[in-house]
């Protein structure tokens, strides 16, 4: 791990994540910046933080920003990270919404939106592959991954139902065993 980031560094880093992943792929960019480039945490801790962020109510990336901010700078760190993640993007979204409603009939606008969606899907698949190589190392994790993918991703079961069915065996499998 590198040195503890300043409040300004937290805000700028999460601003970078938010702006670089505009249109999607926040988890992929978060991992790329926080784990690979900044080396603030390792993949395993990142995956745990993302999992907790997705289970808790609220926006996943805001929860992740709070997690990272609190880890390094406490409550002020959480505020700085969330501010960095949201302030400029909110201004941009408001501006783009105005422009979209003025020019949504132009075919070029539709083409740009389709290209951005394709890039976001590619980033998400890239993150799944990179993190899957590290955590899907046995039969049980692969089976749990396949089950949740089929239930939620293919069959479109509600996330709560999937978690209710798969969280207990996953916790039982992952719980530390007494030596």
Give me the residue spans of the domains in the chain: 7-106
Predicted pLDDT of residue 76: 97
pLDDT of res. 70? 97
Cβ atoms within 10 Å of 61's Cβ, excluding its own: 23
Alpha helix ranges (H) inside the chain:
7-20, 26-31, 43-55, 60-103, 107-135, 139-148, 159-174
Asked whether 5 and 68 are in contact (CB, 8 A), the reply is no
Average pLDDT over residues 7-16: 95
Cα angle 149-34-97, degrees, rounded to a multiple of 5: 75
Distance in angstroms (rounded) separating the CA atoms of residues 152 and 138: 21
Model confidence at 129: pLDDT above 90: no
pLDDT for 22 equals: 65
Residue, of 177 and 76, whose pLDDT is higher: 76
What is residue 23's predicted lDDT score, i.e. its pLDDT?
61
For the segment 94-121, the average pLDDT, to the nearest whole number, is: 86
Q: Would you state the pLDDT for residue 83?
A: 97
pLDDT of residue 1: 58
| Residue 88 in this model has a pLDDT that exceeds 70 | yes
* Res 119 pLDDT > 90: no
Nearest to 123 by CA among 24, 44, 35, 50: 24
Closest to 61 measured CA to CA, from 45, 69, 50: 50
d(CA 99, CA 158): 34
User: Which pLDDT band holds residue 115 (cuts at 50, 70, 90)?
Assistant: confident
Of the candidates 147, 163, 166, the one whose C-alpha atom is nearest the C-alpha of residue 155 is: 147
Is this structure's pTM higher than 0.85? Answer: no
């Amino acid at each position: 791990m590198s040195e503890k980031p300043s409040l300004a560094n937290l805000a700028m880093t999460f601003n970078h994540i938010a702006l670089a992943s505009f249109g999607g792929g926040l988890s992929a960019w978060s991992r790329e910046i926080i784990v690979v480039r900044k080396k603030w945490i390792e993949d395993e801790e990142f995956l745990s933080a993302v999992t907790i962020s997705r289970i808790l109510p609220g926006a996943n990336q805001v929860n992740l920003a709070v997690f990272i901010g609190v880890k390094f700078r406490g409550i002020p760190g959480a505020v700085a990270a969330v501010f960095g993640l949201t302030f400029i993007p909110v201004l941009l979204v408001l501006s783009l919404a105005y422009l979209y409603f003025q020019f949504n009939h132009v075919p070029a606008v539709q083409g740009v939106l389709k290209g951005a969606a394709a890039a976001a899907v590619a980033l998400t698949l890239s993150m799944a592959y990179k993190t899957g190589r590290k955590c899907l190392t046995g039969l049980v994790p692969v089976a749990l991954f396949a089950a949740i993918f089929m239930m939620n991703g293919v069959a479109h079961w509600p996330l709560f139902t999937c978690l209710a069915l798969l969280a207990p065996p996953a916790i039982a499998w992952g719980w530390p065993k007494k030596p």
